Every structure is written in C-alpha cells, then in structure tokens.
Amino acid sequence: MIPVTGFEGAKVAVLGLGRSGFATARALREGGAEPVCWDDNPGARARAEVEGFVCRDLLKAGAFDDIASLVVSPGIPHLYPKPNPVIRAAMVAGVPVDNDIGLFFRSVATRGWERFDQAPRIVAVTGSNGKSTTVALLHHILQEAGRESQLAGNIGRGVLDIDPPGSGGIVVLELSSYQTDLARALTPDVAVFTNLSPDHLDRHAGMGGYFAAKRRLFAEGGPDRAIIGVDEDEGLYLAGQLAEASSDDRVIRVSASQKLTGPGWQVFARKGFLSEYRKGRQAASIDLRQMQGLPGAHNHQNACAAYAAARALGLAPRLIEDALASYPGLPHRSQTIATHAGVRYVNDSKATNLDSAVKALSAFDNIRWICGGLEKDGGLEALRGQTGKVRKAYVIGREAAGFAMQLDVEAEVCITMAEAVARASAEAETGDTVLLAPAAASFDQYDNFEQRGEDFIAEVAKLRG
C-alpha cells in the first residue's frame, strides 16, 4: 500500500467504492487521514462500514463543511456531459477534487528513497488503443530483465494498493483519459502516448477535450522522457510541443506506419521489422513477424512503444528482443484461443471502438467477423473500406439489425454470442479466422468487455466438446 500523505488528521471524502475507491480509503487511513465515504449503492456502503469507514451522504446540506478534499473514482463524470451532483457540490463549496492517480503521484516518493542506490521510476502510458498491451509488454520485458516491476492503474492493481517500490524499482501505469483529466499531480519519469482515435467523446465534449485530457500527462509534470506515437496529427503536435529541437532525444518518436528520419531518437515498425534510429544511425533491428503474442501492425506499434520505454530505462536491445519473443499476449486482445478443424479463433473483445476493430481486421486473413454491441457516437462510417479481409460478419447485440445495415460486407444478424459462434464456425473453412472484434461497447449484453470475451471463449470451447 502507498500511504497517502499531506492529509494527516484531515477528513477526505471518497466518492465511489469500487476497486479504486476502497484502495483510496485504505491508503488515506494508512497515511493518517479520516476517510469519509459515499456510494449510491447501499451494498458498497455496507462493505465500507464493515471495514470501519464512516459513510456520509455527501449531498446533504453542510456535508463538505469539514472536508479537505474530495477523491473521485474514474468512472464518475466531473464536468461533461454534466458534473455528478456530489462533485458539483464540492466545487461549489470550494473543496478541491482529485483522484487516486493524483494522490499516488503526491505520495509515492518518500524520504526513504534517499537511502536507495537508485531511485524508483514511474512509467505512465496513455492513448486510445494499445495501452494495456504496451504496459503489460513493458512489465514483461522488465521482469525478464530481472528488474523489480509493478503493474497498476487501469490494469493490474490500483495505484494506491501496490507495494512501495524498492531501490531501482519501476512502476508501470496504464492511465485512461478519465484518470489523467482530473489528477492534480502527474509527474511520471517516462510518459508514453500511443495513439489517438475517437472515444469517450461525450465525457470530454469532443475530440479537443479528449486530446487535452491525454496531453495533461505530458504538460503537467514534464516527464524526463516522452515517447510519442506520431501516426496521427495530435501525436505530431505533441512531439513538437515537447521537443526543443529536432535532435532533442528527450522525445522518442514512434510509428507503425512510416519510416522516421532525422537527428533525434526514433523507433518504428515497417513490414514486420522494428527499427531504432538515434542521431541518424540505426541502433537496432528486430523481426516481429513470428512473435505469436504480437500479431498485426497495431501490436507492432505497441511493441515499438514498449521497446522505446525499455530503452529509456536503460535496457539493451538484445535483452528486449528476447523478452518480446516470449511475450504471451493479454486476454481479450488479439488472443488466439483455439485452432479447430483448421480454423483459428481469436478473441479481441477489447476492440470496443472503431479504430481498434479496424486494426484487428487488418491483422488476419479470411475473417469470419463477430461484431456488434452498444454502438458508440459517430456511427460506423470509419469501418467502410476496411473490411476487405472479411468473408462475412455475424452481428450480436440488442441492436444487431441496425448495426448490420451499416456494414459494407455480407452480414447475418445473430443477436447472441452463442448463435454467432455457431454460425461462424459452421460456415468457416480451413484457413479462416473467426474473429471477435466488436467495434462497440459491451454494456447492452454484458457487464464489461472481459465478460463478453469469456462468453466467446466458452462458446468456442463447446465446439470441441
């Protein structure tokens, strides 16, 4: 646990008692604060009271009179589409609003670090797609190198629930736009921006607000080294904003679509090969094509970002290459779960937006595509012209018929995962890939994308039963 500092003897309100909320309350108490908790769910409040936490309705008059700060769980909107009533009440009362990420950055460094041979370092990764794979891949590389590494944030453990890092220890954080948007402290040693595509636009009032939330990771604290995906204009702009000159190697530019040139530090992937250039000279080259845990150009972008972060932390190219080759992949992200009768079954349930689905569709051939779910803002126009490798789509979800009508490929309305897997497998031929890449959120039928992926895995398992 990371005890929260700076609130000794003060009352701090905690709104939302999910995983991060409970970890925050415990870390505040460990640091000498008095947590005051609230959640609309009576069951969550009951669990908090069992742990000895005080619960208070934060919408009652005077609820913030003795509160020093309000700490908010990431899923609770603080501004758009409109502020949660509790958060608005705090703002009206002049009470600062923060989240667990902000508390982590203000609390993780302690005087004990002065005794370490090497100070711990924090790597934070944000972007639209590939964050989870990038951080998991970097964590794997560090572990293979024998370095102390902990994975936290939007993946793994809550940031305040991890162990205090030891000498030379590294904490690898996945941070969503919800987390970077509100944190009052953001001071990583290495910050990574993977890419940007439309997502969560209602929460950020459009693409400008969405990018601004991501940009805060680089603008607020000024990382020692920034790794920027430059395949979109926003990444190009961000890299230009951070670099003092084209040769400034505090910025490492990353691409999965183009060769990068110039006197600076670049890492890019082309035709399945990762290349590192520095000061105009090639420093390393790695063949990614046969690495089973990293299929497709989108995973090659993730490999470039993780490779660049590992290099920024001082690891040698050959060591990183060996670790990339042994990376097993993450569940629900281009995860091959079975090969049956010559047909490959791939679970990419995490492909919840159009951009991630397009990348999944480009990674495989002869695709029987299972898609559909809770459609996000903007429709499916971005999928047009991207389905050349798709033999047929099998559409799930409560609005499957409407979803199917927007596709530019033959589509069958299946509604349920069971029907989609059964129909796709019945029609699949040797050499085909049955790919779950929904291009939609899961909440019309499932609690989360993980549950949707597990349902796919279960239905595929029945084919062998």
Q: Residue ranges for the binding site for ATP?
A: 127-133
Contact 21, 39 (CB under 8 A): yes
Q: Which residue has the tokens 């020692």?
A: 224
Q: How buried is 385 (Cβ within 10 angstroms: 0-12 exposed, 13-18 middle, 19+ buried)?
A: exposed
What span, in angstroms and rounded, lies between the C-alpha atoms of 309 and 254?
Answer: 11
- The SS3 of residue 168 is coil
CA angle 363, 366, 367 (to 5 degrees): 70
Sheet with 265-270: list strands edge to edge.
Answer: 149-153, 170-174, 121-126, 190-193, 225-229, 251-255, 265-270, 273-278, 281-287
- The SS3 of residue 75 is coil
**For residues 345-376, b (16+ Cβ closer than 10 Å) or e, as one string?**
bbbbbbbbbbbbbbbbbebbebbbbbbbbbbb
Handedness of CA 413, 417, 418, 423 (dihedral sign): positive
Contact 438, 371 (CB under 8 A): yes
What span, in angstroms and rounded, lies between the C-alpha atoms of 397 and 157?
Answer: 31
Would you state the structure tokens that stand for residue 460, as one six-digit string?
A: 């595929």
Contact 122, 21 (CB under 8 A): no
Would you state the structure tokens that stand for residue 344, as one six-digit string?
A: 């490959």
* Annotated binding-site ranges: 127-133
* DSSP label at residue 255: E
- Which of 408, 380, 381 has the alpha carbon at shortest distance from 393? 408
What span, in angstroms and rounded, lies between the C-alpha atoms of 340 and 350?
Answer: 23
- Which of 426, 428, 422, 434 has the alpha carbon at shortest distance from 459? 422
How many Cα atoms are found within 13 Å in the side-chain-facing hemisphere of 223? 30
Q: How many residues does the chain have?
A: 465
Pick left, alpha or beta for residue 225 (phi over 0 → left; psi -120 to 50 → alpha; otherwise beta): beta
